[in-house]
Amino acid sequence: MIKKILIFLFSLLLITGCSANSNITVHRPDDLSVDTISVSEVKQIIDDLDDDSITIIDVRTPGEYKEGHIKSAINLPLDNIENIDISMENKIIVYCQSGRRSNLAAIELIKLGYENVYDMGGIIDWPYDIVK
C-alpha cells in the first residue's frame, strides 16, 4: 500500500513539476503566441538604441503617457493600434500600465502581420527613470 502511495505521489510530482512554464512564450487560446521581454532587456536596448529598427510603443492613453513614459517610447493607445505606421521589419516592444493592454496590443499586432513583437508588460515594473 505504501508503495502505491509513493508511486502516486511521485507521479503527481512529475506532472506538476513539468507543468511550470519557464519559456518566455505565452500561448494564447487562439493559437497566437506573444514573446515577452524583461524590463532589464528593454533598458539595455534603450541604452544601446542607435537605429530606427526598434520601436517601443506605450499603448496607454495619452494622459497616462504624459504622466510618465519610458524614454524613446511613442504613444499609440490600444484603441488605435490598428493605425500603426511602422515597418513590418521593425522589432516592436509594447508596454502599458500593468501588462493587460500590452498583451492585447501585441496580439493585435501579430494579427496585423507583425512578426517581431515583444510584450514588456507594465510600466509598474519599470525601476528606471521615466520621462515626464
Residue spans of the domains in the chain: they are 24-125
Q: 104-116: string of b/e by CB count within 10 Å (b at 16+)? A: bbbbbbbeeebeb
Report residue 52 as a C-alpha cell: 530606427
* Catalytic machinery residues: 96
pLDDT in tens, 48-96: 877 788 999 999 999 999 999 999 999 999 999 999 999 999 999 999 9
Q: What is the pLDDT of residue 48?
A: 86
- Residue 29's pLDDT band (boundaries 50, 70, 90)? very low
pTM: 0.75
Mean pLDDT of 24-44: 75
CA distances from 24 to 20, 27, 34, 117, 129 (A): 12, 10, 9, 13, 25
Find cell 534603450 and name the residue.
46
Fold entry, domain 24-125? Oxidized Rhodanese; domain 1 (3.40.250)
Longest dimension (CA), the chain: 66
